[in-house]
Structure 1
Amino acid sequence: MSASHGESAARREAEARPYDLVIGGGLLVHPEKGTSAAGDIAVRDGRIVAVVEPGGAQGKYAEYLDAHGLLVTPGLIDLHTHVYDGATGLGIAADLAGVRSGVTTVVDAGSSGSDNFDDFRRTVVSPSATRVLSWLNISRHGLTRGSTELAGHDDIRSADTIGTILAGRDVIRGVKIRMSRSVVGENGLEPLRAAKRVTAQVAAETGRPFPVMVHVGNAPPEFGDVLDLLGPGDVVTHAFHGKAGGLFPEAGSGPLPQARDAVERGVRLDVGHGSASFAFDTMERALEHGIRPHTISTDIHRKSLSGPVHGLTTTMTKLLAAGLTLNETVRAVTCEAAESIGLAGEIGSLAEGRVADIALLDRVEDPTPLVDAEGRTRTTGHRLTAVAAVRAGVTHRIRKADA
């Protein structure tokens, strides 16, 4: 028997096998294309194997999810979370932020550093049903010693950080650094320069871009000075906060010139809601000036879980209330987020062959006011809620208590 005949027989056998899962009748949202259409998705061996018209996923299947009346999107990706539960004061369980909330991938933003990443991997990454990735903190301690992780002279050990990244590159997708007055103390911009040197060396050794995620807050250092050090693919989280010294330097002014320059050279702006870092007013002004968020993340942690954040679908609803379209909002938590962490070929899409990370969302009629980190409110007629998350082909139905 020829090799080609054997390959054809193997292909026919694979095609004849029952699907593991069919998601039927939902409105399939393809954010990278900007299109939506009713259809079915068939899953086998943890990957999407067919995307067809309603009723088109013929044959046997082990499980069927009825998605009629629901949005079916790529699995949601929360680019900024804190899930080092038990090791930091901020951490919550990864699956609470993840599949129990309709989110298939969470990226922990700097809770661990080179001293404790192995423990983070063992206690959080490995046992979680959610895909857990990491922005490794440039501080070797991560956030395990509180909020002054960059104030000491020995907090950054670049060689250790590089070694940790190279050994854990499947999980570590970039470097996290907090650049605000309360964190860096008298060190100014030097910690960010050190982070950029680390990411440049990792990129050179791995042959792929390696970004830095920068937390911005109260100056010094000045927001514009931080932006000037960033390059293509780097992420600014908390970019739309309402504090002084942010995106808009003065009342009634246009955006900071360095912000436009940064976006034009490929710096990515992330929401990073958190307890104090998202303002409706700032977002609405940004949209008026043509500046849109690349990604939407929660900065969910123990203090923000019960409010004002609540979860990623609530944060998405707030961005809809601020003026983003549904497709822009879904893009920001799927294909754009996947691009930010170098996984655009694997997740963030409903295309055939991709990992079967899928979210089923409902648009629930609800006039409840939405609250930002400044205590200001907006009201919409509907909010997004998660009904189920499919993580690598495994279904996680959302309990009402978690939604």
Structure 2
Amino acid sequence: MGLYEKQQVGEKQPLPYPIEANETINAEGCLITPGLIDLHAHVFPTQTFLGVEADRVGVEQGVTTVVDAGSTGIWAFDAFLEEAVRPSVTRILAFLNISGDGLCKGGGELGDMSRLTPREAAALIREQPLLRGIKARMSSSVVKHNGIRPLHVAKEAAREAGVPMMVHIGNAPPRLAEVLALLDRGDVVTHAFHGKAGGMFDEGGELIAEAQDALDRGVLFDIGHGESSFSFRTLRLAQEKGVAPHVISTDVHRRNLDGPVHSLTHTLTKFLANGYPLEAIVAACTSAPARILGMENEIGTLKPGACADVTILQLRKEPTRLTDCEKETIETSERLVAHQVITSGKVLTCK
């Protein structure tokens, strides 16, 4: 689903049964949405150089579920459970890095093919329900001289485990066309709207054929804002060509928390400022990522009978300056702000 598809937000539906409550919340003037899901974050602060505490970018910012995108591989997974998942109120899911090191030894984790762990990763994913897929970072600084080879290994593991793959794209090699050719329906390209050379648009501003082919067969494009991976110019070009992101995520980490990312709601405001409808923006960080994770009946929904996993937002009329990763700045007159969340049976006020 892309941002041109709509989801009804805040529509009144008749309740199938009478409601009794010990506590009521005054949400007059607010937007009630499914709990926000950030499909790309880094929340392993004790073992990685980029990680931030999950609750700081989760429930404190209106996000009830964060998905750690490859901070850990199999070799630090137990520490990830103990040091990141268990202490957090925010629900944490993860894409497991195809490198056994993950990001725990810094970058360049795919530069040594002997440290990739496809069979072990597939086995661990089958055992651990919080693991929802495989992560591979396919840019030159990460793969070194190995080119496209790590992606073949990652794809083998994802197919064996029966899960989607999230692929980081950046500076070539490998070329984006090579990467896209290996992806299947349900796989996720994160950082898809970056402003670097070699992206999904050619020098003439046309969508490359391989990108169109990938979209046609159901490959999903994620924002993954990050420190250097989101461009207003690329977004405007995509709007002109009718290419909509399927998911809005932050790639939030230690180096971009104070800008340009700040939070998921701040990132969502950038789409409001560029004319995307609110209903579609909400869908891109609730129902769309829930489907990718195979959890659409558990999270990303307000269906009667589902567990209460809710975000309460405010749309404030406040002049706001928004900056992308290319240092382009735009001004807007309104912004989305997280007010409260309901998760794990608790009502929490956001900071």
Q: CA deviation at 1:284?
A: 1.1
Go from structure 1 to structure 2 and tell me whether the alpha carbon gap of 1:69 and 1:57 turns closer, same or farther (over 3 Å shift). farther
Please give the TM-score of this superposition, normalised by the length of structure 1.
0.84
* 3-state SS, counterpart of residue 123 of structure 1: helix
Question: Structure 2: which amino acid aligns with 1:318?
Answer: K
1:333 and 2:274 correspond: no
Helix, strand or coil: the match of 1:134?
strand
Superposed CA deviations along residues 273-308 of structure 1, whole A, max 9, x for unmatched, are 001000011011111101100000000000000000
TM-score using structure 2 length: 0.96
2:294 match:
342
- Structure 1 CA distance for aligned equivalents of residues 329 and 186 of structure 2: 32
- Does 372-381 or 292-301 show the bigger shift? 372-381
Equivalent residue number for residue 8 of structure 2: 35
- AA of the residue aligned to 1:182: S
The Cα offsets for residues 363-388 of structure 1, whole Å up to 9 and x where unpaired, read as 11122220001100122210000000
Task: Give the corresponding residue for 1:222.
Answer: 175
Which residue is 1:249 aligned to? Answer: 202
Match of 2:50?
90
Q: Kindly indicate which of the two structures has a greater share of residues assigned to strand.
A: 1
Distance (whole Å) between structure 2 residues aligned to residue 135 and residue 37 of structure 1:
31
* Cα shift at 1:35: 2.2
Q: Is the 8 A contact 1:284 1:323 kept in 2?
A: no
Tell whether the 8 Å contact from 2:35 to 2:300 is kept in structure 1 after alignment: yes
Residues 229-285 of structure 1 show CA distances to partners (whole Å, capped at 9, x for unaligned) of: 1010000000000000011120x3211111111011000000000010000110111
Aligned equivalents of 1:145, 1:286: Cα separation in 2: 36
Shift of 1:173: 0.3
Match of 1:189 among 148, 153, 159: 148
Aligned partner of 1:233 in structure 2 is 186
What is the alpha-carbon distance in structure 2 between the residues aligned to residue 253 and residue 218 of structure 1? 18
From 51, 65, 68, give the equivalent of 2:25.
Answer: 65
What CA distance in whole angstroms lies between the structure 2 residues aligned with 1:317 and 1:90? 24
What does residue 350 of structure 2 align with? 398
Alignment partner of 1:75 out of 35, 60, 71: 35
Native 8 Å contact 2:62 2:340 kept in 1: yes
Aligned residue for 1:173? 132
Percent of aligned pairs sharing the same letter: 46
Q: Which runs of 5+ in 2 are unaligned?
A: none
Q: Distance in 1 between matches of 2:250 and 2:14?
A: 33
The answer to whether the 8 Å contact 1:236/1:270 transfers is yes
Alignment check: 8 A CA contact 1:32 1:335 kept? no
Greater radius of gyration (CA): 1
C-alpha distance in structure 2 between counterparts of 1:380 and 1:114, whole Å: 43
Deviation digits for residues 16-44 of structure 1 (CA, Å, limit 9, x no counterpart)? xxxxxxxxxxxxxxx987324454xxxxx
Q: Is the 8 A contact 1:233 1:267 kept in 2?
A: yes
Name the aligned partner's letter for residue 237 of structure 2. R
Query: Over the residues paired in the alignment, what is the CA RMSD in angstroms?
Result: 1.7
- Residues 113-137 of structure 1 show CA distances to partners (whole Å, capped at 9, x for unaligned) of 0101111012111221011000000
Matches within 5 A, 1:181-330: 181-203=140-162, 210-250=163-203, 252-330=204-282
